[in-house]
């Protein structure tokens, strides 16, 4: 009992609150992590310089965008996402970015890596063939913090094309699809909603109302599916024919170039243009 009283008195004399002691422990832990990281990096035969965009509007002194550099040991098979996770875990726990599946399926870690839109988990550091890996948030998107951008507008554009089957299925009947039709739309179904194509599109950057390649591709997936009823296909084409639909595309192929799933986005957009023209042709 006397020992506890003495400890309490000592803490009272120091005047440290529980919060201050907790912050001090966090500071010491952060310094130890950084020291270990530097030691590990020095011991390794190879390392990569990871230059990362930083921005935090809620922290004084960090509201002005800057770049931080991290020395990351290079390992065989290391991806850019692996390097970011290492930097966060060993250098700065406040480093913020999105990631989930780490298998190029969720689409959450689309980033601007060495001047191009890529998935962090899909991009091998060795394939970049550069001593410095520069990582930035997706261009033409509002940055919320560090590498995290606001995707709300992108999702709104995706939902604007009504990306789901509509209409009623006859009772007791299957909606069969031919092998040929499945092959036709197969690539369009691979979209993972990462937003890389939208970020690369100069038209989308200048026209906030433009549906964009990802949304148009999603519309293609349903419009070209033989199981969708004719009146619903016409309804979908009417959405795409609007001023900020398929006709805004200038066939730059930038979306196709950066798509991590190799979807021929530009070709799909051009095919929908042809379908729109045929839909408006009238013969007397």
Of 69-83, 165-179, 222-236, 239-253, the range with the lowest mean pLDDT is 165-179
Q: Which residue has the higher pLDDT, 34 or 9?
A: 34
What's the mean pLDDT in 41-51?
Answer: 74
What's the mean pLDDT in 100-105?
Answer: 93
What's the confidence (pLDDT) of residue 198? 96
What's the confidence (pLDDT) of residue 129? 86
| Residue spans per domain, the chain | 35-149, 152-166+179-280
Q: 269, 237, 215, 55: which is closest to 148 by C-alpha?
A: 55
Residues linked to residue 69 through DSSP beta bridges, in sequence order? 51
Kindly report the number of other CB atoms within 10 A of residue 57's CB atom. 10
What's the confidence (pLDDT) of residue 283? 53
What's the confidence (pLDDT) of residue 167? 66
Q: 44, 53, 41: which is closest to 86 by C-alpha?
A: 41
The H-assigned helical ranges of the chain are 2-14, 18-43, 80-90, 125-128, 152-160, 179-185, 196-200, 202-206, 213-223, 230-240, 254-258, 265-280
pTM: 0.80
Of 167-176, 202-211, 214-223, the range with the lowest mean pLDDT is 167-176
What's the mean pLDDT in 66-89?
Answer: 95
Structure tokens at 158: 């995706």
Query: Thinking of the domain 152-166+179-280, which architecture would CATH place it in?
Result: Orthogonal Bundle (1.10)
What's the mean pLDDT in 119-142?
Answer: 94
Kindly report the number of other CB atoms within 10 A of residue 239's CB atom. 17
Residues linked to residue 143 through DSSP beta bridges, in sequence order? 149
Instruction: Indicate if the pLDDT at residue 231 is higher than 80.
Output: yes
Instruction: Indicate if the pLDDT at residue 1 is higher than 50.
Output: no
Helix (H) or strand (E) holding 249: none
Beta carbons of 211 and 272 less than 8 angstroms apart: no
Q: Which residue has the higher pLDDT, 233 or 185?
A: 185
What's the confidence (pLDDT) of residue 165? 83
Residue-wise pLDDT for 179-214, tens only, equals 999 999 999 999 999 999 999 999 999 999 999 999
**pLDDT-based confidence at 5, cuts 50/70/90?**
very low
Kindly report the number of other CB atoms within 10 A of residue 241's CB atom. 17
**pLDDT-based confidence at 36, cuts 50/70/90?**
low
What's the mean pLDDT in 228-245?
Answer: 89
The CATH number assigned to the domain with range 35-149 reads 3.10.20.30
What's the mean pLDDT in 258-276?
Answer: 95
Instruction: Indicate if the pLDDT at residue 45 is higher than 70.
Output: no
Structure tokens at 66: 């800057």
Residues 150, 143: Cα–Cα separation, whole Å: 6
What's the confidence (pLDDT) of residue 258? 97
Structure tokens at 228: 């969708």
**pLDDT-based confidence at 28, cuts 50/70/90?**
confident
What's the mean pLDDT in 142-153?
Answer: 96
* Placement of tokens 């990306």 in the chain: 163
What's the mean pLDDT in 243-252?
Answer: 93
What's the confidence (pLDDT) of residue 40? 53
What's the confidence (pLDDT) of residue 210? 96
Q: 165, 135, 141: which is closest to 155 by C-alpha?
A: 141
What's the confidence (pLDDT) of residue 7? 45
What's the mean pLDDT in 132-160?
Answer: 96
Beta carbons of 211 and 266 less than 8 angstroms apart: no
Structure tokens at 185: 């739309």
What's the confidence (pLDDT) of residue 203? 95
Which residues contact residue 106 at a Cβ distance below 8 angstroms, ignoring those fewer than 6 apart?
99, 100, 192
């Amino acid at each position: 009992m006397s020992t506890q009283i003495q400890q309490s008195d000592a803490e009272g004399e120091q005047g440290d609150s529980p919060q201050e002691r907790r912050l001090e422990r966090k500071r010491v832990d952060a310094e130890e992590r950084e020291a270990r990281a530097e030691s590990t990096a020095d011991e390794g035969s190879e390392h990569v310089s990871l230059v990362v965009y930083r921005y935090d509007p809620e922290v004084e002194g960090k509201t002005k965008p800057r770049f931080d550099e991290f020395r990351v040991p290079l390992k065989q098979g290391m991806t850019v996402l692996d390097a970011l996770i290492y930097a966060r875990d060993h250098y700065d726990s406040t480093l913020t970015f999105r990631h989930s599946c780490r298998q190029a399926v969720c689409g959450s870690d689309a980033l601007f890596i060495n001047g191009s839109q890529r998935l962090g988990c899909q991009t091998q550091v060795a394939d970049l063939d550069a001593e410095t890996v520069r990582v930035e948030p997706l261009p033409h998107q509002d940055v919320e913090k560090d590498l995290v951008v606001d995707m709300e507008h992108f999702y709104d554009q995706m939902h604007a094309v009504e990306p789901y089957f509509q209409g009623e299925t006859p009772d007791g009947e299957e909606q069969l699809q031919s092998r040929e039709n499945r092959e036709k739309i197969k690539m369009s179904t691979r979209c993972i909603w990462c937003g890389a194509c939208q970020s690369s599109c100069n038209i989308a950057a200048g026209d906030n109302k433009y549906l964009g390649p990802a949304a148009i591709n999603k519309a293609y997936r349903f419009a070209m599916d033989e199981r969708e009823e004719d009146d619903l296909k016409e309804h979908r084409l009417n959405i795409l024919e609007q001023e900020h639909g398929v006709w805004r595309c200038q066939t730059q192929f930038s979306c196709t170039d950066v798509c991590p799933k190799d979807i021929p986005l530009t070709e799909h957009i051009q095919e929908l243009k042809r379908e729109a023209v045929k839909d408006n042709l009238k013969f007397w």
